């Protein structure tokens, strides 16, 4: 089969580009296909709250569970998000969580099933003891020190003329804990009466890593004449420990921490952590925090120079990238179409445990500046909703890079002074909460670097061709509805992943032709038969709803009739046909 003669007929399977896909995937991101997770745990959301159902369904799916399942969110009451229906299932020895999740995803009683994925912190720090530190805080007041550009800061000094925050505003630092004995954080504003440690299972969220303390001090270090100055000398900070002293945490623990922070009344939740895999349990917890509790969730974009990490990539969060003291995109900072803002994130001096101060870099340090900015707005206007806060932060940002929004700087640099002066938006769109969906195209391609770099072509096809076509929009809707299930099957089955990547490679010339980036190509019979075979491989692993939709879509398009014709001519004919039927699965 000649690679220069390929077609697009099964884009709806796996090869369709995700709108949040980066221009290229760097080699550091290729580990996405081998994610780390707890070896014998599974997180399962059911359509029932029956505590006996998870173990019974495990048996029906053909694998063994150990003991009874336990609710992940203990004490959760019924709500629109359904946190009371999420369970942690303990697997028998030798059961692969990815394979078990893939099996459970086929059952109609299961909303989602996923391993308890591991997440890491979004900063790298090197200890440099310092004193007389405000002069070094270029993020707050950039005078051109250390080769920076004067004025390239978040305009904190001018903002303080209007407000320095309020103790009525509660910002949760969902992280490694906070050293509440540090002189810059020991004045009672750290809420040790309601802090929580989900790693060790107690109510003392003391920091045994330093990361959470760095983050908390950026937000609220006291203006006490020593050490550093936080953005908000008047604010309450809620430490919620979800990451261990080694800097690692699991999706189930992080989700519990988010829900706890929201239930304690956090106005803003800072997540300076991330991973490559979208997990529905974290997406559910963020949906609960934003929709049910009205919190604003701010997340670090990630530090591997690639696409936005999760949970920053979720539309319900404010995704924050990093710049240096010249206003330039930090080379490590992840970017993409979902990026909202940038903030200082290179050589940031902050407080650390044991009465010390560290210099740190990473989007972990950029995110808390934005979280503090939201807190500053709430101190002045406590009636603002989370989506109004988000709208003001974006609209008041100082444009950097190309004019208007761009993928490296988002809407621009956080500007506290401008945000305080901006009028309250009348009716901004609410924060978008969507089903978590990994991009199966990037999962399939990530083991082949050359193929991964071609994903930008898929994205252009998605944006230029599919988005502009009624039929293409239907394909996009179908694909996105089932992206999480497709990605789970690909992660669990290396053979299916390889077959999908090979087919994706075969289709690239036709996709280029349809996107206007290459010559027209002829559809060969081999590609049609290969597509039918791949479709059946995917359908055999899939839930009945997905399998039926794939088969009906293939049958309704009848691709066999297009053998020997040009890709562009076929696409034009499909566009003009009024009889194509695409069944919609009701969720």
Cβ-based neighbour number of residue 515 at 10 Å: 18
Confidence of residue 575 (pLDDT cuts 50, 70, 90): confident
Q: Which two tokens stand for residue 506?
A: 């075969």
Q: Give backbone dihedrals phi and psi of 236, rounded to 5 degrees, phi first.
A: -100, 135
Give the model's pLDDT for residue 130: 40
Q: Is the pLDDT of residue 439 over 80?
A: no
Where do the domains of the chain lie?
11-18+437-576, 36-121, 124-421
Q: Which of 272, 335, 364, 483 is catalytic?
A: 364
| Averaged pLDDT for residues 403-426 | 94
- Residues 6+ away with beta carbon under 8 Å from 210: 125, 176, 179, 352, 353, 358
Q: Is 211 a catalytic residue?
A: yes
pLDDT at 245 over 60: yes
* 30/320 Cα distance (integer angstroms): 22
Res 216 pLDDT > 90: yes
182: its two tokens: 């540090």
DSSP 8-state secondary structure symbol assigned to residue 90: E
Any idea which residue has 């391609």 for tokens? 445
90, 141, 182, 211: the catalytic one is 211
How crowded is residue 59: how many other Cβ atoms within 10 Å of its Cβ?
A: 10
pLDDT at residue 134, as a whole number: 86
Whole-number average pLDDT of the chain = 86
Task: Determine the Cα–Cα distance for residues 104 and 97; give it in Å rounded to an integer.
Answer: 10
β-sheet bridge partners, residue 237: 171, 190
- Whole-prediction pTM value? 0.85
Res 132: pLDDT: 58
The correct answer on CATH 3.40.50.200 for the domain covering 124-421 is yes
Active site residue 175: yes
Considering 175, 179, 462, 530, which one is annotated as catalytic? 175
| pLDDT at residue 578 is higher than 70 | no
80, burial (CB in 10 Å: exposed 0-12, middle 13-18, buried 19+): exposed
Q: Which of 173-177, 363-367, 552-556 has the lowest mean pLDDT?
A: 552-556
Give dist(CA 39, CA 115) in Å, integer: 8
pLDDT for 457: 80
Q: How many CB atoms lie within 10 A of CB 394?
A: 18
Q: Kindly state the average pLDDT of the residues 431-441.
A: 75
Going by the DSSP 8-state scheme, the letter that residue 13 receives in this structure is: I
**246 conformational bin, left if phi > 0, alpha if psi -120 to 50, beta if neither:** alpha
Three-state secondary structure string covering 255-319: HHHHHHHHHCCCCEEEECEEECCCCHHHHHHHHHHHHHCCCEEEEECCCCCCECCECCCCCCEEE
Q: Mean pLDDT check: name the lowest of 79-83, 120-124, 151-155, 289-293.
A: 120-124
Q: Which of 129, 26, 107 is nearest to 546 (CA)?
A: 107
In the predicted structure, residue 297 carries a pLDDT above the cut 80? yes
Strands (E), 86-159: 86-90, 110-121, 124-126
Select the more confidently predicted residue: 24 or 295. Answer: 295
Q: Which of 192-201, 473-482, 502-511, 572-581 has the lowest mean pLDDT?
A: 572-581
Architecture category of domain 36-121 in CATH? 2-Layer Sandwich (3.30)
**Out of 2-6, 154-158, 224-228, 455-459, least confident range:** 2-6
Residues 317-347 have pLDDT tens digits of 999 999 999 999 999 999 998 999 999 999 9
Reported confidence tier of residue 127, pLDDT bands at 50, 70, 90:
very low
The pLDDT score that the predictor gives to residue 13 is: 47
Asked whether 473 and 527 are in contact (CB, 8 A), the reply is: no
Section 472-496 average pLDDT: 84
Of the chain, the percentage scoring pLDDT greater than 90 comes to 54
Inform me whether the pLDDT recorded for 387 exceeds 50: yes
Mean pLDDT of 53-76: 85
Give the whole-angstrom CA distance, residue 343 versus residue 159: 16
The DSSP code sequence of 456-469 is HHHHHHIIIIITTS
pLDDT over 70 (residue 81) = yes
Structure-block tokens of residue 255: 């989700």
- Candidates 488, 480, 474, 472; CA nearest to 543 is 488
pLDDT at 390 over 80: yes
- Residue 91 in contact with residue 69, Cβ under 8 Å? no
Q: Which residues contact 394 (CB under 8 A, 6 or more apart)?
A: 340, 341, 410, 411
As a whole number, mean pLDDT of residues 553-563 equals: 82
Distance CA 222, CA 234 (A): 8
């Amino acid at each position: 089969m000649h690679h220069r003669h390929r077609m697009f007929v099964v884009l709806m399977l796996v090869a369709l580009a995700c709108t949040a896909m980066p221009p290229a995937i760097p080699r550091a991101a290729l580990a996405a296909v081998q994610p780390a997770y707890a070896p014998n745990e599974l997180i399962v959301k059911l359509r029932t709250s029956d505590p006996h159902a998870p173990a019974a369904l495990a048996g029906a799916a053909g694998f063994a569970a150990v003991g009874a399942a336990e609710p992940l969110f203990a004490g959760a009451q019924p709500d629109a998000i359904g946190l009371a229906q999420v369970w942690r299932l303990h697997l028998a020895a030798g059961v692969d969580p990815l394979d078990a999740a893939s099996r459970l995803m086929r059952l109609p009683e299961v909303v989602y099933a996923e391993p308890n994925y591991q997440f890491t912190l979004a900063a790298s720090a090197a200890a440099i003891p310092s004193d007389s530190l405000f002069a070094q805080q270029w993020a707050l007041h950039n005078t051109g020190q250390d080769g920076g550009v004067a004025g390239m800061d978040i305009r904190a000094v001018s903002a303080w003329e209007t407000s320095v925050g309020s103790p009525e505003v509660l910002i949760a630092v969902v992280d490694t804990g906070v050293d509440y004995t540090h002189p810059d954080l020991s004045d009672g504003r750290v809420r040790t009466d309601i802090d929580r440690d989900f790693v060790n299972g107690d109510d003392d969220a003391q920091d045994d890593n330093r990361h959470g303390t760095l983050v908390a001090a950026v937000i609220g270090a006291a203006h006490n004449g020593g050490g550093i100055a936080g953005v908000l000398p008047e604010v309450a900070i809620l430490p919620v420990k979800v990451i261990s002293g080694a800097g690692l945490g699991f999706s189930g623990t992080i989700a519990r921490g988010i829900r706890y922070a929201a239930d304690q009344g956090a106005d803003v939740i800072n997540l300076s952590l991330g991973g490559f895999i979208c997990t529905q349990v974290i997406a559910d917890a963020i949906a609960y925090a934003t929709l049910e509790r009205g919190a604003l969730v701010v997340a670090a974009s990630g530090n591997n120079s690639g696409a936005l990490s999760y949970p920053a990539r979720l539309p319900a969060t404010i995704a924050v990238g990093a710049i240096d003291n010249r206003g330039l995109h930090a080379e490590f900072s992840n970017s993409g179409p979902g990026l909202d803002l940038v903030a200082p994130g290179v050589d940031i001096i902050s407080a650390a445990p044991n009465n010390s101060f560290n210099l740190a870099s990473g989007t972990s340090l950029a995110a808390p500046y934005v979280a503090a900015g939201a807190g500053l707005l709430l101190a002045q206007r406590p009636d603002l909703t989370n989506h109004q806060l988000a709208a003001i932060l974006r609209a008041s940002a100082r444009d950097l890079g190309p004019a208007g929004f761009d993928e490296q700087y988002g809407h621009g640099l956080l500007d506290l002074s401008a945000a305080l002066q901006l009028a309250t938006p009348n009716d901004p769109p609410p924060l978008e909460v969507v089903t978590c969906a990994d991009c199966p195209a990037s999962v399939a391609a990530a083991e082949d670097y050359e193929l991964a770099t071609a994903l930008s072509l898929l994205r252009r096809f998605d944006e230029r061709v599919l988005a502009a076509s009624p039929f293409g929009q239907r394909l996009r809707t179908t694909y996105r509805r089932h992206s999480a299930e497709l990605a789970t099957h690909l992660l669990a089955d290396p053979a299916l992943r390889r077959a999908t990547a090979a087919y994706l490679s075969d289709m690239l010339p036709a996709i280029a032709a349809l996107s206007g980036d290459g010559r027209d190509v002829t559809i060969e019979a081999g590609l049609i038969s290969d597509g039918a075979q791949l479709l059946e491989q995917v359908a055999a692993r899939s839930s009945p709803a997905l399998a039926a939709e794939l088969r009906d879509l293939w049958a309704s398009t009848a691709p066999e009739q297009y053998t020997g014709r040009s890709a562009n001519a076929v696409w034009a004919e499909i566009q003009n046909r009024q009889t194509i039927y695409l069944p919609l699965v009701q969720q």
